[in-house]
Amino acid sequence: RLRARLRWRMALMGVRFRRNVAMAEEEGVRLCTVRIDEPRTDGFGPNRHTSYRICSTIATNEAANETRTHSFESRKRFSEFPALREALRVFLPGIELPALPDKSVPNRLAPEIVELRRGSLELFLQHLLDHPLLATADELAAFLGWPEERLAQLRAPLFSRAKSCYQTPASRQRLAMAR
């Protein structure tokens, strides 16, 4: 019974999440943005791999009417993305995560394949950052290279967004579920 209740809550949050993302895209306002660029191929022979520079930006409210943005960079290989996805699946087992591009692709180091992967990985990370609960995960913060000593300050707007998303006015289904 509790599992069914949890699944129903997650489904309701998914509907609200998609609505909130659509509104954020229309308004052009996001708390976090991510950009992946500068693909670099390293190694020699069968050990060749591509790494990508990840630039993430977080908007925080420093004062009453002042918004400040913080930018962070990290470099990750493609093989680190499935590990992040698995860690997030364990963190929130009921949430549907976006798919990643295939790992084994013929001619994976060709510029057009690298560019397609780059775009897919950027959409993957932006989807995670747009989600009210996934954006608060420690695993995602570590992956994006957010400093631990400032993590509470940086994630404060993310936690308030998650709280407000969950405390939206109750629908008939939620009222029926609470009975």
For Cα atoms 118, 135, 153, give the angle at the middle one, nearest 5 degrees. 120
Is 113 in contact with 107 (CB distance < 8 Å)? yes
Residue-level pLDDT at 24: 53
DSSP string for residues in the chain: -HHHHHHHHHHHHHHHHHHHHHHHHHHT--SEEEEEEEEEEESSGGG-EEEEEEEEEEEEE-SSS-EEEEEEEEEEETTHHHHHHHHHHHHSTTSPPPPPPPS--TTTTSHHHHHHHHHHHHHHHHHHHHSTTGGG-HHHHHHHT--GGGHHHHHHHHHHHHHHHHTSPP-HHHHHHH-
Residue 151 has pLDDT above 60, yes or no: yes
Between 169 and 124, the more confident residue is: 124
pLDDT, tens only, 90-121:
888 878 888 888 777 677 777 888 888 889 99
Return the minimum-mean-pLDDT range out of 29-43, 71-85, 117-131, 149-163. Answer: 149-163
For Cα atoms 9, 57, 12, give the angle at the middle one, nearest 5 degrees. 10
Closest to 140 in 3D by CA, of 127, 49, 115, 114? 127
Residue-level pLDDT at 76: 93
Residue 175 has pLDDT above 50, yes or no: no
The mean pLDDT of the chain is 77
Residue-level pLDDT at 53: 94
Q: How confident is the model at residue 60 (pLDDT cuts 50, 70, 90)?
A: confident
DSSP string for residues in 64-86: SS-EEEEEEEEEEETTHHHHHHH
Return the minimum-mean-pLDDT range out of 2-16, 34-48, 61-75, 137-151. Answer: 2-16
Residue 140 has pLDDT above 70, yes or no: yes
Residue 172 has pLDDT above 50, yes or no: no
Between 29 and 179, the more confident residue is: 29
- As to burial, measured by CB atoms within 10 angstroms (0-12 exposed, 13-18 middle, 19+ buried), residue 117 is buried
pLDDT, tens only, 2-43:
555 555 555 555 545 555 555 555 545 678 889 998 888 888
Is 87 in contact with 139 (CB distance < 8 Å)? yes
Helix axes 2-27, 151-166, angle to 10 degrees: 110
